[in-house]
Amino acid sequence: MPAPGGMSRRKLVGLGAATVLGATATGVLAPHAQAAGRVAPQAAAAAPTVTLAFSDPTGLYPVDGDAPATPELLVTVTSPTALNGTVAWSLSARNESPGSGTEPFEAAPATPSTIRIPLGSLGPDYYLVTATVTDSTGTQLLAQTVGFGVIRPTVAGRRPQSVFGMGIRSESTPAITKQIAQRMGVKWTRGIASVQPDTVSPRAGVFWQQPQIDVARAEIADWHEHGIETLGGINYNMSWNVQPGPNGEPLKLYQNRPKDMAAHVEMVYHAIAPLQDLVPNWELWNEPWVHGWTWKTGDAQDYRDMCRMIWERVKPEYPDVNLIGGGSVSYNRDVVYAQGSRDTGYIDGSVNHAYGYPDATQYAMTRTQIKMDKLWSRTNGHAGQWQTELGTATRYNFPDLPAEEAAYGVARTLAPTYLLHMLAGAEEDSPIRIFWFSLSYDKGYSGDDFNIYDAKTKTPRPVVVAYATMTSLLEDSALQEELYPDAKSTWGFLFRGADGRGRAAVYADQLYDGTDEHQSAGYTGTLTLNDARGIRAYDHLGRRLTDGRASCVTLTLKPWETVYFDSDLSPAALRKALTQDAHFDYTTPLHVSPLSFVKPLDSTSTIDVRVENVTPKTLDASLRINPPQGWRVAPRTVPVNGIKPGESRVISFPVIEFEVSEKNQYTVGYDVTVAHRPGSRQSGSQTVQVACLPFRHITVGGSASQWNDVVPVTMTSVTAAGDSKSYSFQAAWDDAFLYVRALVEDDLQVSNAAFTVDAYKFPFQADSIQLAFDATADKTEDLLAGDPHYEKCLRSISHLYVATLATGGRSELHRQLAPGTNYQTFYPTNAVLPTPLGPMDAQQEDGTEGRVLISRDDVNRQTRYEIALAWSQLPELAAEVRAARPGSVTRATFAVQVQDAGATGHGATYWTTQAAHPTSGCYNFAPFWGTGAQFTGGRVDTRWGIGR
């Protein structure tokens, strides 16, 4: 499934092959691995060379209190002959230009000559310096922009309970890299470079000796000297112990399970034993995807066997060692904790990799992860959660923004990502460590699109300053609570510092409008503190916004731009200042969604509009709608008073006159005014459709004419290149089945092997359609049901079915989710669940669970799906439908997804994003529907009507 910015999940997780210890993974983003450090042709050696650097090689200048930093730009000219000229420079910080100038230089022959240019007295922020170096003849020798950071002081020393980790690359110059990490406030690194499987066990039965062990201990001690703990990592296999590929071919260290599992276990034991006093936490394998890029022929039970064998070898002798396993939240549920399977849960803590935007689904996933560990780990998740890879990158997450703006976009996403994960850990009282990916001072590597430094210029990017700001203000603080659990616009995190005083972080959320790149799509506004004395505020790059002396202050809120609060108050008093005594003024305080029509249009129709207060304060508002062309409603304006934070109301406007659209497309506009906001107006529109299931007897594979009077709904998918595809759906029902017919435009059919040929192929990764229902009120397997944030961002579904056309023309209907499936994905070696996963008993003409026929028209490039889902698959909804009175309508929460697979396909298209503005949730969908993030369809709350 494509990740944000078009990066496939397969390619994204491929980064893991080179992330545990900085080992190069040939072929995984390899073109970038040698991008830095290329040697210029010999013929160019005689030309003058110019380099830029800063007086501090890290490019970071810590300040203490109000004392400014005084950085200098170093311009070094090396020329074979005497040379003179000028350096023109300018300094910028976001939208400001705090300085510029021109300096002369003289360079002696064959000797590097350095000009030191003072850049002024500067406070915390990220800065760019543009320098143009020109010789006396007017020849330009260099024009370059480099960045540096003035940062707040961070907390010194080791903090084993800290959350703040970093993926620090071993390729980079160690001394400076560790100094950078120390200044940023990094407290955890992942992996020990001198602990490699081939070093620990170079051949069967042979293990490392004291000299190699001493090297590893010295490396760990050096990290500790910089205040940084190490998470030990077992860097895959010994080279001599890799299971061959499916055809007997040799594979790389990371590509398959150990051939001799007992030998692997001995290697792990001998790696841990001499270091366990310094390194108590050990990650067992990075991203062990079953039949994926690291576990090609191994299966889920192999991984569970490995964990159990390591546990039984290590734990009796070293009970305080923590074994960290898994690969993602969904992997942990599907494999490590697979219900009913053998040898589950032999880990003390689990791993997740949450690359991508800081959508609320990151919080939801982590809450799920902790719940699973506490329920099913052998030590109830004693070692906590290890988010060992996460982050955003300009190329993948902000590809359409100018480079400088994209770099600031990455900086904005850092703190919200950490805060969402930290909240999950705090609410579940579980330790959590979070490793941003990644830091390399001066070397390229596989995956260096995520590098927080520019390795070519050896200078920091804005995200470095954002990280230092975060750790400066939040280290040695304990997160107490989230301040706005009902408000979808706002996230607030209250902390208690070690000194007992209150601290906080607040940010406005982003909204998805086809991209998460542009702040204009998110919530923007102001936060006014009416009792602000003793509260100092800082922006996400460390700039002070208020000094705590004013009684009332107004601060700007922008999507994902965290505002920090450091106070002289108790946490309770700061909480009151940020909630009860605060005023939020958003440009879009209400989430307005015109809803689909749940029955064919007639004289009793209404235009229904869902209105939700997304702010932390109760609002009074007035809603006016603009009906579709040719329609009349009365009244057009309705008051919406006393709507509480998180409250959602459906306002109905009776239709007096209407016109039926042949395309089933009806555009409803709206205008909202909010009391006490004179001149403010929130406007928008939404195209809605009639989405209903009439009573019809349908024969799967029968004449298309039986669908003639069933109103279709349509979806449109448009690529960045402008290629458009149309998808049409019709649905009906009778006493035996719920029917769906879909016509999907698709240039190229992408099919899996039939399930009977290869049971490891996920049907949702081939061309397919998915049918999602929220049809069960009691979700006993939904671990977060009833949580205070459930409606804000945690709501899930109850049933999910996937239809796909396998090779050989075989139509398949799979059950992906239903009560009794534990939200798991099908793996062949797992135990059969109470409600079985995988292919259903459904053929074209018979089957106890349904009917399915999928046909491909290569001439017209269209795939037709015909599905009959037996009501036994939706028993609670079936009971409602059967009990309904004739002429009535039963509401159903239902959505469809189209997956257009392949390199040239359109990817996933969701009814949820086309029928309404998406909302975060649905954390249990990964990996089949999506992650629950807005950019992968969000939660299913789209309504349909089933007519009696």
For the cut 70, the answer to whether the pLDDT of residue 36 exceeds it is no
Q: State yes or no: pLDDT of 119 exceeds 70.
A: yes
698-740 pLDDT per residue, tens: 999 999 999 999 999 999 999 888 999 999 999 999 999 999 9
- Helix (H), strand (E), coil (C) string for 637-665: EEEEEEECCCCEEEEEEEEEECCCCCCCC
Give the DSSP per-residue string, 266-294.
HHHHHHHTTTTTT--EEE--S---BTSSS
pLDDT digits (tens, 9 = 90+) for 737-751: 999 999 999 999 999
* Unique residue bearing structure tokens 């009902």: 486
Q: How confident is the model at residue 931 (pLDDT cuts 50, 70, 90)?
A: confident
Position 100 pLDDT exceeds 70: yes
- Is pLDDT above 90 for 109? yes
Q: What are residue 792's phi and psi, to 5 degrees?
A: -70, -45
State the average pLDDT over residues 559-571.
98
> Is residue 8 pLDDT above 60, yes or no?
no
Other beta carbons within 10 angstroms of residue 888's beta carbon come to 13
Supply the mean pLDDT for the chain.
93
- CA separation for the pair 77, 53 (Å, rounded): 12
Joined together, the tokens standing for residue 582 give 């605060």
Q: What is the pLDDT of residues 495-520, one digit of tens each?
A: 999 999 999 999 999 999 888 888 88
Q: Mean per-residue pLDDT for 644-667?
A: 96
Q: Is the pLDDT of residue 269 over 90?
A: yes
* Mean local confidence (pLDDT), 320-324: 98
Identify the pLDDT of residue 823: 94
Share of the chain above pLDDT 70, in %: 95
Please report which confidence band the pLDDT of residue 778 belongs to, taking 50, 70 and 90 as the band edges.
confident
pLDDT at 423 over 80: yes
Contact 767, 786 (CB under 8 A): no
Count Cβ atoms within 10 A of the Cβ of residue 610 and give its class: 0-12 exposed, 13-18 middle, 19 or more buried: middle
pLDDT score of 879: 95
Structure tokens belonging to residue 864:
């037709």
Q: Please give the pLDDT value at position 41.
A: 43
pLDDT reported for residue 164: 98
Quickly state the pLDDT bin for 1 (edges 50, 70, 90).
Answer: very low
* Segment (H or E) for 764: none
Q: How far apart are CA 716 and CA 700, in angstroms?
A: 25
- Cα 488 to Cα 762: distance, rounded to the nearest angstrom: 33
Q: Residue 239 pLDDT more than 90?
A: yes
pLDDT digit string, tens, across residues 145-202: 999 999 999 999 999 999 999 999 999 999 999 999 999 999 999 999 999 999 999 9
Q: Which residues contact 402 (CB under 8 A, 6 or more apart)?
A: none
> Residue 220 in contact with residue 230, Cβ under 8 Å?
yes
Provide the pLDDT for residue 643: 97
First to last CA, the chain: 38
118-132, 312-326, 924-938: least confident range: 924-938
Q: What Å distances lie between residue 382 and 303, 337, 421, 429, 476, CA to CA?
A: 20, 16, 17, 11, 21
How much is the pLDDT for 741?
98
Q: Output the pLDDT for position 22.
A: 37
Confidence at residue 924, expressed as pLDDT on a 0 to 100 scale: 75
Report whether pLDDT(45) > 70.
Answer: no
pLDDT at 406: 97
| pLDDT at position 17 over 70 | no
* pLDDT 10s digits, 385-419: 999 999 999 999 999 999 999 999 999 999 999 99
* Residue 399: cis peptide before it, omega within 30 degrees of 0: no
- pLDDT bucket at 925, cuts 50 / 70 / 90: confident
CA 221 to CA 11: how far, in whole Å? 35
Do 458 and 53 contact (CB within 8 A), yes or no? yes
Band (916; pLDDT cuts 50, 70, 90): confident
Hey, what amino acid is at 174?
Answer: P
Q: How confident is the model at residue 21 (pLDDT cuts 50, 70, 90)?
A: very low
815 forms beta bridges with: 801, 838
**β-pair partners for 74:** 53, 116
pLDDT tens-digit map of 373-388: 999 999 999 999 999 9
Alpha-carbon distance of 187 to 168, in angstroms, equals 11
The first and second tokens of residue 937, run together, are 């369809």
> How far apart, in whole angstroms, are the C-alpha atoms of residue 146 and residue 148?
7
Strand partners, 770: 802, 897
Burial class (CB in 10 A: 0-12, 13-18, 19+), 468: buried
In angstroms, the CA 600 to CA 946 distance is 11
Going by pLDDT thresholds of 50, 70 and 90, the confidence category of residue 692 is very high
**pLDDT for 846:** 95
**Confidence label for 12 from pLDDT (cuts 50, 70 and 90):** very low
pLDDT at 654: 97
pLDDT, mean of residues 484-491: 97
| pLDDT (average), residues 608-624 | 96
| Upper half-sphere CA count for residue 653 (Cβ side, 13 Å) | 26
Model confidence at 923: pLDDT above 80: no
Cβ(284)–Cβ(305) under 8 Å?
no
DSSP bridge pairs for 810: 806
Residue 550 has pLDDT above 50, yes or no: yes
Q: Where are the alpha helices (DSSP H) in 332-476?
A: 361-376, 394-397, 403-427, 462-474
SS3 751: coil
Which pLDDT value is given to residue 124? 97
Copy the structure tokens of residue 693.
């299931």
Residue of 492, 587, 582, 585 lying closest to 789 (CA atoms):
492
Residue 27, pLDDT above cutoff 80:
no
Q: Answer yes or no: is pLDDT of 121 > 90.
A: yes
CA dihedral 700→705→711→714, nearest 10 degrees, is 70
Q: What angle do CA 926, 849, 765 make, to 5 degrees?
A: 30
Q: What's the pLDDT tens digit per position in 49-75?
A: 999 999 999 999 999 888 899 999 999
